């Protein structure tokens, strides 16, 4: 209270529609602008050091929509696996699978833990179940498979009776690979009982020294966002090598 019995005037702040004072908002926007400049400069510097021709673009809009749109004029989009511990309101945990299922282009996802010390794609594990998405992944990975040294083809829980009824020959896929000048595939089968399909894939990649996995991404439905099946979710959460996803 003042001597005259009245309270001192309280400071007044103009507020935006979101309830944030204009002074705080201005400071926040200035910080974002500084960080954007720093990120751009670092990106271009590292690209130049790696002798990679690069551009830096900073569009506005929801991150998954922006990435999907930019990917459509590219051969492939490269993203990092989402680190759940580091995800924020700006980078939600579901960002990777949202982009994969909406971009219309293959997406190469790299693990967020560990370091890739050499070029990848020399030893490829391809997941083959005779389905549409697997066939799409096989086509999308063509430039990688042409340059690969070894190709391991994995079928989890094979169904020979189904293949016999469709008159599919065991040499059909190897013949396709030969026609495309891919490495002669090493055919591997595994059973998912007790470990799950996702872990079967990761175990096979480790057993055969594969440095990349190629597979189609599977989902069940789309309500608000893509809800992935157990296999894709396991791989996106527990991946140990880069994975080229096709959808």
pTM for the whole structure: 0.79
In tens, the pLDDT along 121-178 reads 999 999 999 989 999 999 999 999 999 999 999 999 999 999 999 999 989 999 999 9
Listing DSSP states for the chain in one string gives --TTS-PPPPP---B-TTS-BHHHHHHHHHHHHHHHHHHHHHHHHHHHHTT---------S-HHHHHHHHHTTSS-EEEEPP-GGG--SSS-TTHHHHHHHHHSS-EEEE-SSS---S-S-SEEEEE--SSHHHHHHHHHTHHHHHH-SEEEEEEES--HHHHHHTT--TTHHHHHHHHTTPPPPEEEEE--TTT-HHHHHHHHHHHTT-SEEEEE--EEEESSSEEE-HHHHHHHHH-SS-EEEE-
Domain boundaries, the chain: 19-58, 123-246
Per-residue confidence (pLDDT) for residue 17, from 0 to 100: 52
Q: Report yes or no: 109 and 81 within 8 Å, Cβ to Cβ.
A: yes
Mean pLDDT of 221-240: 62
In tens, the pLDDT along 47-98 reads 999 999 999 988 888 888 999 999 999 999 999 887 766 555 556 667 888 8
CA distance 93 to 88: 8
CA distance 50 to 43: 11
CA distance 21 to 89: 20
Per-residue confidence (pLDDT) for residue 48, from 0 to 100: 94
For residue 4, is pLDDT > 70? no
Residues 6 or more apart whose CB falls under 8 angstroms from that of 58 comprise 36, 40
CA distance 215 to 236: 12
Q: What is the homologous superfamily of the domain 123-246 according to CATH? A: HUPs (3.40.50.620)
């Amino acid at each position: 209270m003042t001597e005259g019995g009245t309270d001192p005037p309280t400071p007044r702040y103009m507020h935006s529609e979101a309830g944030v004072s204009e002074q705080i908002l201005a400071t926040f926007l200035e910080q974002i602008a500084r960080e954007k400049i720093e990120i751009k400069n670092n990106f271009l510097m590292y690209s130049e050091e790696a002798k990679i021709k690069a551009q830096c673009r900073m569009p506005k809009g929801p991150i998954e929509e922006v990435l999907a749109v930019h990917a459509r004029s590219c051969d492939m989009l490269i993203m990092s696996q989402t680190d759940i511990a580091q995800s924020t309101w700006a980078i939600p945990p579901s960002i990777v699978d949202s982009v994969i299922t909406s971009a219309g282009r293959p997406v190469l996802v790299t693990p967020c833990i560990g370091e890739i010390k050499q070029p990848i794609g020399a030893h490829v594990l391809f997941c083959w179940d005779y389905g549409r998405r697997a066939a799409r992944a096989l086509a999308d990975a063509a430039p990688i498979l042409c340059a690969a040294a070894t190709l391991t083809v994995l079928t989890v829980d094979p169904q020979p009776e189904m293949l016999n009824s469709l008159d599919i020959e065991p040499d059909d896929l190897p013949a396709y690979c030969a026609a495309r000048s891919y490495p002669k595939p090493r055919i591997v089968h595994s059973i998912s009982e007790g470990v799950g399909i996702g872990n079967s894939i990761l175990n096979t990649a480790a057993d055969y020294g594969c440095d990349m996995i190629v597979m189609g991404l599977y989902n069940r439905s789309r309500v608000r966002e893509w809800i992935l099946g157990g296999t894709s979710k396991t791989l996106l959460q527990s991946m140990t090598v880069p994975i080229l996803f096709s959808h």
